[in-house]
């Protein structure tokens, strides 16, 4: 076996360092996300309103990415963006412990998504640079695996806190600990990125290797975003229909994140070897998850909620690896921000429709979700991933 080059070793060190940051970050905000749907229902929000809040938060978070990506590329201050984003992202979640009305909770939910959006295109752009050295599927897959280890642990911590105290406030409040650890871990990660952060964003040359492929992938991502029902709506349905208790809903979200943690690196390595055809199996699994989570009861519903985690692996690793395969170092953060804007608009529209259907017809919600997800498949198969 050949020894990895120094650049490949540096790339792997960065992937692991930022993965540790994201482990604790996901422990924080995914810990809160697992309970927020039930929390909003507890505070009196309707299914339609939960859908609008969840989708609106994603829209705001994805829209800000297009702005933060442009700023990062034009100023070169990539890690200033990252620090601002992580700080907002982390502090909004434990602040949910202090609110007592669903509009106030909604503001913090949106704020958390905005913070994540500010830092996301910067991290994606540097991960894309690392992927050029060690493989895009491997880079994004490893990062997603570490993400999801935290995303599995966080909801379990919240579930235990809620079960013991009977209070959502305690569940959210304990998340201040991983929030602080995230910011501490960001120091070595930003240092490890020095050899990968784009040095000359104004260099001549195209921002995209294949413009047509980029827009196909963006359209496919939009269909996925609109069809992949936010877990907040699954949590709302479980709470409303007495499928599971508030603490058990957080456990279910942890199970979904564990599925994502396992599937992301596996699909990522398979993607590097076989290309975009891997997307078909992954999307079929997410479609099955929707049907089980909203039409099933007992073990079937729980299985659907767990399989929902495959969708996270698809959108946060496989699709991003596809996008990374057609961009250049020049304006990488801007390009990821543009993709995220398209994704966020579609997520908001899909979540709003899904929330309305949740109040009226679960069958209609499932048909809507599955149809949109399946429509995405051919858009990802029209071009083999660049090597």
Per-residue model confidence as pLDDT tens digits over 237-288? 998 888 988 778 888 888 888 888 788 778 877 877 776 677 888 898 889 9
**Contact criterion met (CB below 8 Å) for 24 and 313:** no
CB-side neighbour CA atoms (13 Å) of 167: 11
What's the pTM? Answer: 0.71
Residue 81 has pLDDT above 90, yes or no: no
27 or 267, greater pLDDT: 27
| List of residues 6+ apart from 128 with CB closer than 8 A | 136, 139, 324, 327, 332, 336
The three-state secondary structure class of 327 is strand
Rounded to a whole number of angstroms, the CA Rg of the chain reads 19
Contacts with 367 (C-beta within 8 Å, 6 or more apart), sequence order: none
For residues 116 and 68, is the Cβ–Cβ distance under 8 A? no
Give the pLDDT confidence of 207-238 residue by residue, as tens digits: 666 778 888 988 999 999 899 888 888 988 99
Write down the pLDDT at residue 9: 84
pLDDT(202) > 60:
no
Q: Which residues lie closer than 8 Å to 127 by C-beta, 6 or more apart?
A: 15, 18, 139, 140, 143, 320, 324
Show me where the domains of the chain are located. Answer: 6-195+206-380
Q: What is the pLDDT of residue 55?
A: 79
CATH topology (fold) of 6-195+206-380? Growth Hormone; Chain: A; (1.20.1250)
Q: Give how far Cα 320 sits from Cα of 71, 191, 217, Å.
A: 20, 24, 9
Mean of per-residue pLDDT scores for the chain: 84
Q: Is the pLDDT of residue 357 over 90?
A: yes
Distance CA 234, CA 14 (A): 35
How many Å apart are CA 170 and CA 192, to the nearest integer? Answer: 35
pLDDT digits (tens, 9 = 90+) for 30-53: 888 878 888 888 888 887 888 888
């Amino acid at each position: 076996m050949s020894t990895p080059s120094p650049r490949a070793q540096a790339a792997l060190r960065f992937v692991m360092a930022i993965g540790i940051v994201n482990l604790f970050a996901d422990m924080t905000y995914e810990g809160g996300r697992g309970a927020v749907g039930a929390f909003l229902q507890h505070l009196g929000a309707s299914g339609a309103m939960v859908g609008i809040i969840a989708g609106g938060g994603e829209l705001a978070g994805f829209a800000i990415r297009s702005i933060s990506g442009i700023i990062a590329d034009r100023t070169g201050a990539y890690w200033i963006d990252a620090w601002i984003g992580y700080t907002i992202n982390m502090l909004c979640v434990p602040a949910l412990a202090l609110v007592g009305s669903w509009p106030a909770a909604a503001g913090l939910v949106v704020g958390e998504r905005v913070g994540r959006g500010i830092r996301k295109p910067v991290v994606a752009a540097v991960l894309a640079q690392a992927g050029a050295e060690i493989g895009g599927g491997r880079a994004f897959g490893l990062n997603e695996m570490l993400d999801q280890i935290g995303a599995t642990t966080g909801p379990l911590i919240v579930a235990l806190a809620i079960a013991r105290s009977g209070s959502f406030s305690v569940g959210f409040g304990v998340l201040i600990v991983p929030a602080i650890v995230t910011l501490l871990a960001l120091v070595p990660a930003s240092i490890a990125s020095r050899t990968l952060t784009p040095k000359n964003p104004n260099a001549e040359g195209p921002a995209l290797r294949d413009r047509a492929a980029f827009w196909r992938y963006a359209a496919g991502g939009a269909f996925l975003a609109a069809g992949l029902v936010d877990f907040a709506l699954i949590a709302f349905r479980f709470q409303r229909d007495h499928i599971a208790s508030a603490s058990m809903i957080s456990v279910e979200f942890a199970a979904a994140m564990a599925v994502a943690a396992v599937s992301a690196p596996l699909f990522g390595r398979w993607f590097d070897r076989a290309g975009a055809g891997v997307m078909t199996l992954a999307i079929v699994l997410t479609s099955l998850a929707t049907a089980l989570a909203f039409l099933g009861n007992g073990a079937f519903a729980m299985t659907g909620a767990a399989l929902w985690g495959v969708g996270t692996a698809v959108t946060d690793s496989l699709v991003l690896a596809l996008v990374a395969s057609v961009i250049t170092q020049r304006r990488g953060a801007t390009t990821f921000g543009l993709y995220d804007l398209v994704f966020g608009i579609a997520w908001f529209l899909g979540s709003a429709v899904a929330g309305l259907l949740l109040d009226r017809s679960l069958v209609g919600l499932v048909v809507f979700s599955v149809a949109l997800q399946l429509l995405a498949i051919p858009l990802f198969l029209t071009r083999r991933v660049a090597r």
